[in-house]
Amino acid sequence: MTDYWIAPSILSADFARLGEEVENVLDAGADIVHFDVMDNHYVPNLTIGPMVCKALRNYGIKAPIDVHLMVSPVDRLIGDFAEAGASIITFHPDASTHVDRSLQMIRDAGCKAGLVLNPATGLESLKYVMDKLDMILLMSVNPGFGGQSFIPSTIDKVREVRALIDASGRDIRLEVDGGISAKNIAEIAAAGADTFVAGSAIFNQDDYQAVIDTMRRELAS
């Protein structure tokens, strides 16, 4: 049976109470914490950096922190995030001049490494670095903001990447990010995803446990 992970995106959390929010969502059954880093350069929005990741660790958060870098350049932040307690670091290949080197830097820093593909980005950048990937993240919205609608063509792309991963025989997580809710999570899982980012669908509800329970029921169906 697939080991599904639910990864709440803290982009939609209440930043004034971030430690508590992350604790609550983990108590409600989330598996990992999705941490969106935006630089107002690669994407038109600005969020949080390594200090906030460190603050969550100091607060006592033990769950894996899945750092999604929407920044360019990439490399300068890798060491800082590794030191701040990141577990997984993913970046967009079009944001790094030397993708292979950036992936190697992430692993050398002791983290799991992954690439993120935007909705219109093809799979070419994956082929020669499959041995350096622990995760592939497919964007199902254009990166920059929470609360957008899921782009349906992502489903075919998930199928294609699932086939690539299976053919490689490697242990690579397939994560999808953007517009995921209890309504579409089963379809995305059926296409081959195993890790689901959800921001607004979770944090915009009062009862995190109820949303995550519903998502798990959908995944089991």
Backbone angles phi, psi at 120, to 5 degrees: -95, 5
- Options 177, 191, 215, 218; binder of Zn ion; rule CB under 5 A: 177
165-194 residues in contact with ligand DX5 (CB under 6 A) are: 177-180
- Is position 93 an interface residue for ligand DX5 (rule: CB under 6 A)? no
Segment near ligand DX5 (CB under 6 A), from 46-54, 93-101, 136-144, 185-193?
136-144
Nearer to ligand DX5, 29 or 127 (CB): 29
Tell me: does residue 198 bind ligand DX5 (CB under 6 A).
yes
Pick the closer one to ligand DX5 by CB: 71 or 106: 71
What secondary structure letter does DSSP report for 16? Answer: G
Query: Is 31 in the active site?
Result: no
- Enumerate residues 139-168 that contact ligand DX5 by CB under 6 A: 141, 143-144, 146-148
- Taking alpha carbons only, the member of 221, 197, 202, 220 closest to residue 35 is 197
**CA neighbours within 13 Å on the CB side: how many for 144?**
9
DSSP E strands, 9-156: 33-38, 65-70, 88-91, 112-117, 135-139
3 state SS of 218? helix
| Residue 21 interaction partner, one of ligand DX5, Zn ion, none, beta carbon < 5-8 Å per kind | none
194 is catalytic: no
Instruction: Tell whether residue 199 is a contact of ligand DX5 (CB under 6 A).
Output: yes
* Binding of residue 11 to ligand DX5 (CB under 6 A): yes
> Edge-to-edge strands of the sheet including 173-177?
5-8, 195-198, 173-177, 135-139, 112-117, 88-91, 65-70, 33-38
Question: Per CB under 5 A, does 68 bind Zn ion?
Answer: yes
Residue type, 210: A
**Amino acid code (one letter) for 101:** R
β partners of residue 35: 67
Residues forming the site for Zn ion (CB under 5 A): 36, 68, 177
Binding positions for a divalent metal cation: 34, 36, 68, 177
Residues forming the site for ligand DX5 (CB under 6 A): 9, 11-12, 34, 36, 68, 141, 143-144, 146-148, 177-180, 197-201
